[in-house]
Each structure stands twice: as structure tokens, then as C-alpha cells.
Structure 1
Amino acid sequence: MIRALALGACAFSLATAPALAQTKPRPAAPAPAAQPARPAAGDWRTPDPQNVLVIDTNKGRVLVEMVPQLAPQHVERIRTLTRQGLYDGRKFFRVIDAFMAQTGDPQDTGEGGSALPDLPAEFTFRVAPPEMVKVHADAVSEIGFIGPVPIRSQNAWMAAATVDGKVTAFGLYCPGVGGMARGGDPGSANSQFFLMRAKYPSLEQRYTVWGRVISGLDVVRAIKTGEPVAPPQDEMQKVRVLADIPAAERPKVRVVDTKSPWLAAEVERLKALKGPDFSACDIELPVEVK
């Protein structure tokens, strides 16, 4: 179960800091960046249907792309439990606005799990620098993407000093990111998971990231809130792996490739717009579902 995180705030009085009362001219705001162009035909990719989770809720459909490279054991667990039907009918029992929506408990209380053993933590993973689409870097770290999931890694130059030619990385808890719930033991994740409604970096390297919503984030944000959620609770009516849906009714999905020229141009546009406040969480990947 995810424990609530206390948020603190501090304040100060201008009366105690007279130097701050002398306002200085503010720098001019950056000119508005142009709206992004429509992705070209070559900017799209088709996700592996074995790695797309189709969640039909009473509020609408959510598509989550799972990324085994980040957390192979957790992705396999979710795929297995989906095919067993464990997620069908599961309630969203803990939903916090500007945070996340939690589900996947057979007891619908936050206290249960599947009959399978708990999973070891996969908070970090190893990545070869060319496997990551870089959007920002500093002296010690880089930020980019693997598939649709934003990640942070050690700087690529460190790979030359490692035996496997890779660096350590972890997923960023941006809106839509899927994480695995657990108890106090880092190795206690089992069946429960959560989908982020907002950015929440406090979870990074503490909860396993296994994928990201590529369609239906509006549905996730529309789920009834509560801690716990009062009845009637919203629910996952049916959860399937995209590859298991009969071809005649299977949705056709494509999402903008993070390796595409469109993404590179969008990063530059957002950097011009946001300046030092730019974050990988600002990047929204266009998707088409037919």
C-alpha cells in the first residue's frame, strides 16, 4: 500500500528581509513558442501488442504501454494476472487528486494481493546510453525516454567505466506513469498498482515504474477520489493484453516515437517556452486509437 506523503511549506516575511522589498526589474518573459506541428508519417510507431494493457473502466478506456526493460518481473506479473482475470472488476479504492489512482487488490481494500509470491524491487535498471532518447543533460545525469516513459540516468560518460557498458537509470513519476504499490518492505509488491494523475517526484527510486498511460489520462483523472474511496467506487470492468483481443475488435494504436524528429522539435519548443522550468513531464506524446 502506498503511504501518504506529507507536504511541508515554509514562509518568510518581507519585514524581516528589507533588502527583498527593493524590487528589481524582471527579465522579459520569453516569446510564446509556436504550436507543435502535426507529426509526420515517419514520426509514429506501433507499440508491441504484448506490452499494451487495455483497461476498460466505467469511466472509459485507458491504454497503458508496459516497458519490460524498466521492470521485467513487474511487467510479467501484470501480464500474468491480467490473463488470469484477477484485475477484472477491481475497484479504484484509493484515489488522491493531484497524485494517483490505486487499484489491483483482490480485496479492494489495499491489504490484499494475488496468490503469487511478492516481487523484488526494480526501482532502478541498467541502460546502454544509445538505448535512451536524451532530452536534457548536466554534468552527472541525463534525462530522456525509453519508449513512452521518461527516465533519469547517470551521465553517458560513466558507461565507459562500467563492466557492462551501461549506466544506472530510474523512471520519473510524471502524469500517466504506472507504478507498483507495496508495503514497508521494498520487496513487497504483488498485484496492486497505481496510475499517476500528476507529477510526483517523491516516489522516484522508491516504487517500481513499469509503464505509462498512452491514451486515457483524462479517464484516470476522472476517477472518483477518496482515501479510501466511498461507495460506489469506480472500477476496472475488464483488463486485457492488446495481443489477446480478437483481431476484429482489437483497437489499432500508434503513438509518436520518442526517437522521432517531431519529438526533438517539441523538446526544443518546450525548452524555449519553459526556460529553466522545463521538465520531461511537460512532453505529451500524441496518440491515435482507432
Structure 2
Amino acid sequence: MADIKDPENTIIMELKNGSVVIELLPDIAPKHVERMKVLARAGAYDNVVFHRVIDGFMAQSGDVANGNAEKDFNIRRAGTGGSDLPDLPAEFSRIPHDRGTLGAARSQNPNSANSQFFINFSDNHFLNGQYTVYGRVISGMEHVDAIVRGEPPMNPDRMISVKVAADAE
């Protein structure tokens, strides 16, 4: 496991093949970081599927309204919703969308990010300045690379659990 410097701003995401450790960037995107921690602490991300996974591009998840593999799950609906919380304003920065960075998924409206996010499989610099970067994978990227591809995948992988490291046992 990675050397966790700031447990309050680190996410531990359990996938089928192992743990992914994500360092959050509260100095860059404080509202997005806070939202992820609130939803993680509420268990909202647990069992949510990766509904859009494009080889060489990114893996998208976080539809807490429609993406829970344990509840009223419909893969065709996954990716269309968010949380009950208000949408977030864009927090664009100079941080590039490099391999392993965590970005806020949104609609055409830059201020529409809510609960969905994506992890970049490769350097996707064409996204720079258009999508909020608020974290980066510091350990377990090989588990992200193993997520089943598809838009949507036939049998999507899911986040078994998502926790703030400070709360982990």
C-alpha cells in the first residue's frame, strides 16, 4: 500500500483485484474533494459500477443515483445521475489530466459536476482546463487498468467500497 501522507485527504477504493489509493488535492479543488469525502463517508460509492470505460482514455464511475450494482440497477441508466447534493462549480486548474489523475465528470455545463468522476488511463491533455482535476492515484493503478471496458460494459466492474483513509480500520 502507498505511503499515505494525509489520511483525511486520501481515498481507498477497493476493486475486485485490490486497493486503489487516491491522493486528493484539497488545495486545488476543495469543493470536489469535500464532496468525494462526504459521499465516501455516507457509503454512497459502495457497489457503484464503472459505467463508461474507454480503452486508452478513462474509466468513469460515481453515479450514486443509478449505478449501485446491489440496488435497482439498470446499466442503461447508469451515468445519467448524481447525488441529492447540489452540483459543484468548476474548479479548473493548471494540473494536467495525466495518467492516474481523478477528474470530475459533468455535462456540457462546466458547473454541473456532482458525484461522478473518471480516472485517466493515459495522459489526456485535451481535457486540461475543461474538467476539474481533484486527485491522483498513488498506488494500485494496475487495478484501474484491469477494469472491464465498455460503454457500458456488459458485466461492469464496481467499486466494492470507497473510504477516506482516516476512517479506515
Give the TM-score, by structure 1 length: 0.53
Query: Aligned ranges for residues 249-260 of structure 1 at < 5 Å?
Result: none
- For structure 2, the 5+ residue unaligned runs are 68-77
The one-letter code matched in structure 2 to 1:197 is F
2:161 maps to 238
* Structure 1 residues 139-189: Cα deviation after superposition (integer angstroms, max 9, x where no partner): xxxxxxxxxxxxxxxxxxxxxxxxxxxxxxx11111100000000100000
Deviation at 1:200, TM superposition (A): 0.7
The one-letter code matched in structure 1 to 2:82 is G
Matched, 1:193 2:114: no
Asked if the contact 2:4–2:10 (Cα under 8 Å) also holds between the matched residues in 1, the reply is: no
Query: Aligned ranges for residues 31-70 of structure 1 at < 5 Å?
Result: 46-70=4-28
Would you tell me which structure has more helix in proportion to its own residues?
A: 1
1:76 maps to 34
1:184 maps to 108
Asked if the contact 1:57–1:237 (Cα under 8 Å) also holds between the matched residues in 2, the reply is: yes
* Matched position secondary structure for 2:28: coil
Q: Which aligned runs of 4 or more in structure 1 are off by greater than 3 angstroms? A: none
The one-letter code matched in structure 2 to 1:243 is A
Q: RMSD of the TM alignment (CA)?
A: 1.3
1:117 maps to 86
Deviation at 1:59, TM superposition (A): 2.5
Q: Which of 127, 131, 136 is the equivalent residue of 1:212?
A: 136
Q: Which of 56, 60, 76 is the equivalent residue of 1:102?
A: 60
2:150 maps to 226
2:74 maps to none
Aligned residue pairs total: 157
CA distance in 2, matches of 1:60, 1:46: 17
Asked if the contact 1:59–1:234 (Cα under 8 Å) also holds between the matched residues in 2, the reply is: no
CA distance in 2, matches of 1:60, 1:198: 20
Which is greater in Rg?
A: 1
CA distance in 2, matches of 1:65, 1:208: 15
* Structure 1 residues 212-232: Cα deviation after superposition (integer angstroms, max 9, x where no partner): 0000111111100001111x2
CA distance in 1, matches of 2:121, 2:18: 15
Give the TM-score, by structure 2 length: 0.90
The one-letter code matched in structure 2 to 1:110 is G
